[in-house]
Structure 1
Amino acid sequence: MAALVHAVATPVRTDLHPFICESHFFDSWQLVLPATEQQPAMFYLLKMLGNSPAWVDSLMTLRNKAVQLVGLKDLSVMSAISLEKAPSDYQIGDRVGIFTLISQTPSEVIVGDNDKHLEVRISFLKEMKNEQMVLTITTAVKNHNWLGRCYMWFVKPFHRVIAPATLKRLILTS
């Protein structure tokens, strides 16, 4: 039986490619969606953020306390999102939880965050692949300075656990 969530090559169709070309880190994780799923990509972003595991929020709280010591911003926690707003109500530039909405189509949403040490972009791409509907989350990070490189050295191992764990909850919380 195939893994529920697995690492994949960056999708060819993502609009994130220009950013990835300048990135210092990127990865992609994929989940097969139920065959009947008809929701836009924004639905999955909102659902993933709103259903983040408590341990991820605890790690974010710890992260926020630690980075304030070096002057970085407190991002809050992943699950701090209003689920009352419909996916179609979001406009470019709106905050979507801890991220800012950069682009949105029914099949792909790109969100991100900028700080003095790095830029983050995350794509949620929903597409047909091998006759299955799949959702691929691609994260890309561009470091601006030594602080960004240091930050990513600490964050990367956690990211590689958090990204698939939060993606997996999309199916487990249905």
Structure 2
Amino acid sequence: MAITRVVPVPADSVLPAQLPRIDYRDAYAVTLPPGSSADPEEWIRRLFTGAPSWIGRLMRLRDALVRPFGLRTGDRRSAAPFPTLLVTDREVVFGTDDRHLDFRASVHTDGSDLTVSTVVQFHNALGRAYFRPVRPFHHALIRSLLRHAAS
């Protein structure tokens, strides 16, 4: 089983420049098996296709809970759960803007490591209140997706 580790956002990542202010950031990585693809779009597919079923249930629950508040829900028909915003040869950035917060996530590979990074900009107290209970699930979800993709 792949071991996930907490890392800094990769130095060559375009992710930090995607928001005017960053109130929260994290990054997790796994070491890729030798000979693995360096195509971040392939890793997006591997991360989100065939992911553990508890993740899909959790995302549907999240969508049901936030819909009455007028918050955006994810697009469960595409490989990435939110719109793709930028693609480079080493990184795919996806995310969305909403009235409570804006977030961007990145799937970055350098051929030896696969890193998933997240940055968030809160707009108000609702954004901070929303993210407080989401944060532990976010950490577990990212780690599980990385283990799934790298196995």
Give the aligned length: 151
Q: 1:53 is matched with which residue?
A: 52
Percent identity, please.
27
Structure (1 or 2) with the larger CA radius of gyration: 1
Q: Which runs of 4+ in 1 moved over 2 A?
A: 17-21
Deviation, 1:153, is 0.7
1-structure distance, mates of 2:124, 2:28? 27
Cα distance change of structure 1 residues 48 and 106 upon mapping to structure 2, 3 Å threshold: same
Paired position in structure 1 for 2:95: 112
Instruction: Measure, in 1, the Cα distance between the counterparts of 2:73 and 2:86.
Output: 23
Distance of 2:82 and 2:91 partners within structure 1? 15
Does structure 1 conserve the Cα–Cα contact (< 8 Å) formed by 2:44 and 2:80? no
Tell me how far apart the structure 2 counterparts of residues 40 and 76 of structure 1 sit (CA, whole Å). Answer: 22
Q: Cα RMSD between the aligned structures?
A: 2.0
- For residues 14-25 of structure 1, the aligned pairs below 5 Å read 14-19=13-18, 22-25=21-24
- Equivalent positions of 1:65-104 (< 5 A) are 65-77=64-76, 80-81=77-78, 97-104=80-87
Return the TM-score normalized by structure 1.
0.79
- Tell me the SS of whatever aligns to 1:13: coil
1:46 and 1:151, CA in 2 relative to 1: closer, same or farther beyond 3 A?
same
Kindly report which structure 2 residues correspond to 1:127-138, keeping only aligned pairs within 5 A, or say none.
Answer: 127=110, 133-138=112-117
| Residue equivalent to 2:39 | 40
Between 1 and 2, higher relative CO (CA 8 Å, sep ≥ 6) is seen in: 2
Question: What residue ranges of structure 1 are gaps of 5+ in the alignment?
Answer: 82-95
The two structures have a TM-score, normalised by structure 2, of 0.90
Query: Quick check: 1:124 aligned with 2:107?
Result: yes
Q: Deviations over 1:131-157 (max 9, x none)?
A: xx1111101111111111111111111
